[in-house]
Amino acid sequence: MLRSRLILVHLLVQASNRAGRGTRGRSPPKHVVSVGNLARLLNIRLDPLRRKMIKVGMDAEASHDHLLTAEYASLLALEFNRNPVVNDEAAFDIFPPPAHSDSSTLPLRPPVVTIMGHVDHGKTTLLDTLRSTSVAKGEAGGITQHIGAFSVPVQTNGSDGSQPTITFLDTPGHAAFSAMRARGAGVTDIVVLVVAADDGIMPQTREVIELVQKEKVGLVVAINKIDKPGVDVSKVEHALLAEGVQLETFGGDIPVVHVSGMTGQGLEQLIETISAVAEMQDLRAEREGKIQGYVLESRVQKGLGAVATVLILRGCLKSSDHIISGMSHAKVRVLADSNGKTVKAAYPGMAVTVSGWKELPKAGDEVLQGTESEVKKALANRTRKAEMEATLGDMDALNQQRRNERELREKEADAAAADEELEETSDKSEPDIKELKLVIKADVSGTVEAVAGALQGIGNNLARVRIVATGVGDVTESDVMRAKAIGGMVVGFSVVIPRPVQTTAASQQVTLLSSSIIYRLMDEVKERVIDLLPPVIEKRVSGEATVLQLFDIHLKGKQTKKVAGCRVTNGVVDKNKLARVVRDGTTIHEGRLETLKQLKKDVTEVSKGVECGMGFEHFQGLREGDMIQIYQEVESRASL
């Protein structure tokens, strides 16, 4: 039985050097074969192969130079009783361990809790009090900029005599980090929604409520800042009820706790409430065997190289274990908990810093364990698959290019009518979209993802942001040179730009933007995108006149000219400004006044209520009742 991914080794080896013949200026991607080459390799005529392709519904792909993927080539080979070679090694990968047959027999694990809420509602201060560290003071603008994790012990001892804990994920508060919040909720068991008693429901509060309802995770509401004078907690509770949050206060099933992050009031009750919700969820996982987890963040750390914060969901991670995450792998060197203390093993519910990565893994990628040979084999296959998917995009582009070339040749074979059709088609082509190209650097990988997501959406159909490259760590000269090559700029978030790099950027005329506040970067990038937009031309009317009667004026050489007798009804008629003729609400002519007379004198201005004579350059179609508007074009800056 054929596997889902067939690798036609014989075809690929022989065809990789042939598939690109006839391509103009581009090399064909690997892992593909043209229809003509496939016919030669199968030792059949091209026409039977094309008829077979049409029969199976591949009409558009039946041209001799169309590129086929290995899978399609394999299936077509089977149609001609050829046996494609299936490489089982190419299908190998590492997958999560199978689910336990009876989860009730597994040991309990700590719940993973995510703190969410609106900016400045006190999330970080609340977490500071829980873990007794000063994080908020070091945060730029009081906003948590990347995901962190830590454990809080619960006073009650576990059934096995151990002290249970709760793992908290600290997610960003700014709206620009909604992608990171969503990823944090994807690995969490319980969400603590922090709402300020003095502020109530805000846009990010609604986002969290929608996210929790979509993800179907446990919810605990913490109404913060209850120590502030004059706050009305019941008002906030009613507002939550109006948003569909069924609080226990009103007979629902969602617990609510009144807390103060500054004084610590109600935090013990919050921990007890979270423990009770977790107990009802009966969270269990294997404490032995291969691990499954997720990368919360990654960064380059002096002395350790590439490190990543990994949340363990199943299994036991130890030093010297081999793990894989996306396109990166590691032999674990050091495991450290949230306090920086080295640990020998990490169990379900723990978030640990893992060093030993060959490359920085991406935030949100799954982390799995295998032997050294399994990890290397899986990584090679993932790399090959990524290259294949990338080249498939090139293949589609090549096929489209070849289709366009065939259509062009067919049209060129036609007569003048086809040429006119081509001209009309080119006339209707869309205008070029201007792009602000960015190279983004940030302190950790999760932040890079969030910053790129926030900046990517800036723009419209005329000008937009294009993210060319992203990376983790300080801005380097290579980043500046890359920005120079693409005609873009470098954006740094919570990173250092060394003085030599600044000097290089100045000499290369490359703009550097750096900040530790996300919305400042967003505002600056938005301003630069606006600068790419064409200016807005506004026509401001400064005077209006109504045509009362038309006169013929005799000029030299027996020539006559139409002059309109008018009365100025609004503003001032200025001969030096532009003028337009409006008839029945429609502008029928725009130009300049050639004649402006008051009685028999030539004048430059006529005020409201005064009668005058007007005549246009190159326009003789005035009628009685027409309105003549005098206007000027004012150029202003566009906006998004």
Q: 64-78, 172-186, 314-328, 553-567 — which one is most confidently predicted on average?
A: 314-328
State how far the Cα of 519 lies from the Cα of 455, in Å rounded to an integer: 10
Is residue 307 within 8 A of residue 472, CB to CB? The reply is no
State how far the Cα of 453 lies from the Cα of 178, in Å rounded to an integer: 9
Closest by Cα among 84, 68, 63, 90 to 391: 68
Q: What is the pLDDT of residue 393?
A: 58
> What does the mean pLDDT of the chain come to?
80
Residue 383: pLDDT band (50, 70, 90) is: confident
* Overall size of the chain counted in residues: 640
Pairing relationship of beta strands 366-370 and 345-346 according to DSSP bridges? unpaired
pLDDT above 70 for 569: yes
Residue ranges of the chain assigned to CATH 3.40.50.10050: 434-532
Q: What is the pLDDT of residue 27?
A: 39
Q: What is the pLDDT of residue 5?
A: 33
Looking at the domain 108-281, which fold is it? Rossmann fold (3.40.50)
Q: Give me the mean pLDDT over the 565-585 stretch.
A: 93
State how far the Cα of 336 lies from the Cα of 308, in Å rounded to an integer: 10
State how far the Cα of 175 lies from the Cα of 181, in Å rounded to an integer: 9
Q: What is the pLDDT of residue 29?
A: 44
Is residue 234 within 8 A of residue 273, CB to CB? The reply is no
Cα separations (Å) of 543 from 99, 344, 587, 629?
80, 84, 15, 6
- The domain at 536-636 falls in which architecture? Beta Barrel (2.40)
Q: What is the pLDDT of residue 140?
A: 58
pLDDT above 50 for 427: no
Q: What is the pLDDT of residue 91?
A: 62
Share of the chain above pLDDT 90, in %: 31
pLDDT in tens, 270-306: 999 999 999 999 999 999 999 999 888 888 888 888 8
Pairing relationship of beta strands 292-301 and 305-314 according to DSSP bridges? antiparallel
Residue at 170: amino acid letter: D
Q: Give me the mean pLDDT over the 401-421 stretch.
A: 64
Q: What is the pLDDT of residue 186?
A: 63
Is residue 190 within 8 A of residue 116, CB to CB? The reply is no
Sequence-distant (6+) residues with CB within 8 A of 375 are: 94, 322, 323, 324, 329
Residue range 434-532, CATH number: 3.40.50.10050
Residue 347: which region, alpha, beta or left (left: phi > 0; alpha: psi -120 to 50)? beta
State how far the Cα of 309 lies from the Cα of 351, in Å rounded to an integer: 7
pLDDT in tens, 187-234: 788 999 999 988 888 888 888 888 888 777 899 999 998 988 888 899
pLDDT above 70 for 262: yes
Q: How many CB atoms lie within 10 A of CB 553?
A: 13
Angle (CA) 522-527-532 rounded to 5° is: 125
Is residue 324 within 8 A of residue 308, CB to CB? The reply is no
State how far the Cα of 245 lies from the Cα of 11, in Å rounded to an integer: 60
Residue ranges of the chain assigned to CATH 3.40.50.300: 108-281
Looking at the domain 292-376, which fold is it? Elongation Factor Tu (Ef-tu); domain 3 (2.40.30)
State how far the Cα of 196 lies from the Cα of 208, in Å rounded to an integer: 14
List beta partners, residue 258. Answer: 223
Q: What is the pLDDT of residue 631?
A: 95
Pairing relationship of beta strands 112-117 and 67-69 according to DSSP bridges? unpaired
Quote the distance between the C-alpha of residue 532 and its chain's center. Answer: 21
Residue at 249: amino acid letter: T
Is residue 569 within 8 A of residue 610, CB to CB? The reply is no
Closest by Cα among 447, 547, 475, 397 to 148: 447
Residue 19: pLDDT band (50, 70, 90) is: very low
Residue ranges of the chain assigned to CATH 2.40.30.10: 292-376, 536-636
pLDDT in tens, 445-485: 777 878 888 898 898 888 999 998 888 888 999 899 989 98
pLDDT above 50 for 12: no
Torsion angle (degrees, nearest 10) of CA 596, 599, 604, 610: -100
pLDDT in tens, 528-561: 999 998 888 888 999 999 999 998 877 766 677 7
Is residue 534 within 8 A of residue 562, CB to CB? The reply is no
Closest by Cα among 228, 235, 234 to 263: 228
